[in-house]
A and B are shown apart, each in its own frame.
Chain A
Amino acid sequence: METETDTTKLATAVLTRIETEQVTPHSRLFYVAKEAGVWTLWLLTVIFGALAVAVTATVAVYRYATGYELTHDSLLGYAAEVLPYLWIVVFSAMAFLAVYNLRHTKRGYRYSLVTIVGSSLIFSVGGGLVLHGVGFGFSLDHLLGTYVSSYVSQDKMEQRIWQQPENGRLLGALNRSQADTDGVVRFIDVQNGEWVLVVRELPPPDVALMLSGGQVRLFGELISLTPPVFHVCGVLPWLRERLEERREMAHLRREFRERMALYHLSQEIDESTPRLCATARGMERFRPVGEGPWAATAY
């Protein structure tokens, strides 16, 4: 009877092949490196996924806070225009790769698809939200926008949306080199165009914001392109770089909406001052509904 130590015909053939073909076992280091490589790739995909989530969350939260109703008729239309598709694609690809890599670890096959997808998503989404929370998403987006010309960052997207005077939106800063006259302000937009702004209807908080000298977003009505004259109805700050300021955006937006709603409630200033703001393009979105002066606005 054959015992375990007997060399069978097969064993002889195998040993002969090992000798003639000079077969040697791959080193342990090879497998350790391979396993480490797969885990590293998994980690990288999770990190890139987290970055994608961070930027997506930053963009989504920020753009919601900046007020889609000023520029778009519906949140859906707004979202379709400003969604960070690139990052969503990056995140999807990274999630897929993370799952693929985890599956190819030594014990990866033991985990169900739900466990693998779930854990990869949790790490990516969790990490992304943490990065978003500390402001890294905004910084990354800003950095890429600065150094990669083809990358449409938050700044570029906002500029594209807000530098549209014919649609009642203007982006720029006060021209401090010009002396202001009563009710008229000189303004330089982001394309270095010089404007005369009519600010007679502008509420005091908006005036104060504009006079602060920082870059601002104007909402109003184009009077003429030559000469460039713009009737201002509202002022919003430009992108906030500091995290705490960005968190204030939702609050600023709510106050802005309330101020805009007042145009529909206030009486004529006087006969010589036409109330352009009550009928300005897009102003209908701020018409109050329900009872009372501070009832919800119509969006």
Chain B
Amino acid sequence: MTETDAELVSAALKDPQAIGAIIARYEEKLRRYIYRLGVRDRDEQADVLQDIFIKMYRNLNSYDTNLPFSSWIYRIAHNEAISWYRKRAVRPEGNLISEGDDILSLLPTALEASDLRFDKAVEAEAVAAALATLEERYREVLILRFFEHKEYDEISDILEIPIGSVGTLIHRGKKQLYNELNRKFLRI
């Protein structure tokens, strides 16, 4: 029987070896997430992931069991990734979008209203480049919503902002993304 996250946390508090199961469960998800946030190099991802899980272990007693564990560990991952790329003063570039990402289908319907039709590859490249130019706060929520498929309350817990603000940021982020696509790539 698969142990719940809360059970794994309890186990890890008693024996550090138990965090191996948490790592196994979240390593790939978090790797993808920090990649999208801007940590592209595989070795650097490994370093950031180590820091995330060390921080998680150090703060295990602060985990609030009323919250989903995934939100809590995503919060740590988010903070570590942001801290990482701020230290290096870099911004993510292109290649954010891979097959299966549904941000394209969730873009404002205004795109369709503009009678825009272009092939999927061009679309993905354009959206990825436009996304990379967005303000950090918009990019963060769009990544969580459309790449990590998080609900509003989960995004609220991860980014530590009110749920109302999540909705607002997503709305504005989509609008800014759309404007950016229009301005730079679609030349409407």
A positions within 8 Å CB-CB of B? 2-8, 10-11, 13-15, 17-19, 21, 23-28, 30-31, 106, 109-113
Q: Which residues of B are found within 8 Å of A2, using beta-carbon distances?
A: 24
Would B54 and A14 count as touching, CB distance under 8 A?
A: yes
Q: Which A residues are in CB contact (< 8 Å) with B57?
A: 14, 18, 23, 25
Q: Which of B20, B21, B163 has the most CB of A within 10 A?
A: B20
Q: Are A25 and B23 in contact (CB under 8 A)?
A: no
In the complex the two chains form, what is the Cα distance from A15 to B164 in whole Å? 39
Judge whether B111 is part of the interface by a CB distance below 8 angstroms.
no
Residues 41-62 of chain B: 1 if any A CB is under 8 Å from the residue's CB, otherwise 0?
0000010011001100111111
Q: A25-B59, A30-B61 are in contact. Are A17 and B24 (CB under 8 A)?
A: no
Once A6-B24, A111-B162, A112-B162 are accepted as A-B contacts, the answer to whether A25 and B58 lie under 8 Å apart by CB is: yes
Q: Is B109 in the interface zone, CB < 8 Å from A?
A: no
Contact (Cβ within 8 A) B64 A15: no
Q: With both chains docked as a complex, state the minimum distance between the C-beta of A115 and any C-beta of chain B, in angstroms.
A: 8
| Neighbouring A residues of B24 by C-beta, 8 Å | 2-8, 11
Bound state CA distance, A132 and B46, in angstroms?
Answer: 60
16 of the cross-chain contacts (CB-CB < 8 Å) are A4-B2, A5-B24, A10-B46, A11-B19, A14-B19, A14-B53, A14-B57, A15-B16, A15-B20, A18-B16, A19-B16, A23-B57, A26-B59, A31-B62, A112-B162, A112-B165
B residues apposed to A, CB below 8 Å:
2-3, 13, 16-17, 19-21, 23-25, 27, 46, 49-50, 53-54, 57-62, 64, 156, 160-165
Residues of A with C-beta under 8 A to B164: 112
Q: Contact at B13–A5, with CB atoms within 8 Å?
A: no
* Complex contact A8–B23 (CB within 8 A): yes
Closest 9 A/B residue pairs (Cβ): A109-B160, A11-B20, A11-B23, A28-B61, A7-B20, A25-B60, A14-B53, A31-B62, A112-B162
Chain A residues lying within 8 Å of B16, measured Cβ to Cβ, are: 15, 18-19
The answer, among B46, B53, B163, for a CB contact under 8 Å with A110, is B163
Which chain A residues border B162 with CB–CB below 8 Å? 109-113
Q: Residue A25 contacts which of B2, B20, B61 (CB distance < 8 angstroms)?
A: B61
Q: Cβ of A23 and Cβ of B62 under 8 Å apart? A: no
CA distance A25 to B49 in the complex (A): 18
CA separation between A31 and B164, bound complex, in Å? Answer: 27
CA distance A169 to B62 in the complex (A): 65
Q: Which residues of A contact B27 (CB under 8 A)?
A: 8, 10-11
- Minimum distance in angstroms from A113 CB to a CB of chain B: 8
Which residues of the other chain, B, contact A25 by a CB distance below 8 angstroms? 13, 57-61
- Among B25, B54, B60, contact of A17 (Cβ-Cβ < 8 Å): B54
- Contact residue among B3, B17, B46 (Cβ-Cβ distance under 8 Å from A13): B46
Provide the bound-state CA to CA distance between A96 and B16, in Å: 41
Q: Would A15 and B19 be within 8 Å (CB), given that A4-B24, A10-B46, A110-B156 are in contact?
A: yes
Which of B23, B49, B54, B59 gathers the greatest number of chain A CB atoms within 10 Å? B23
Cα distance, A8 to B23, chains bound together (Å): 8
Give the most central of B2, B46, B57: most A CB within 10 Å. Answer: B57
Q: Are A10 and B21 in contact (CB under 8 A)?
A: no
Nearest-Cβ distance from residue A270 to partner chain B, whole angstroms = 77
B109 vs chain A, min Cβ distance (A): 28
Q: Are A106 and B61 interface neighbours, CB within 8 A?
A: no
Q: Are A23 and B20 in contact (CB under 8 A)?
A: no
Q: B71 CB to closest chain A CB, in angstroms?
A: 12
A27: which B residues are within 8 A, CB to CB?
A: 61
Residue in A26, A110, A113 whose beta carbon sits within 8 Å of that of B62 in the complex? A26
Docked Cα-Cα span, A278 to B45, in Å, equals 89
Measured between alpha carbons, how far is A154 from B2 in the docked complex, in Å?
A: 70
Contact call B49/A10, Cβ cutoff below 8 A: yes
Please give me the residue from chain A that is nearest to B30 by CB atom.
A10
Q: Is the CB of B64 within 8 A of A106?
A: yes
Contacts of A8 in B (CB 8 A): 20, 23-24, 27
Residues on A with beta carbons closer than 8 Å to the beta carbon of B46:
10, 13
For the complex, what is the distance from the CA of A11 to the CA of B46, rounded to whole Å? 11
Q: How far is the CA of A111 from the CA of B164 in the complex (A)?
A: 9
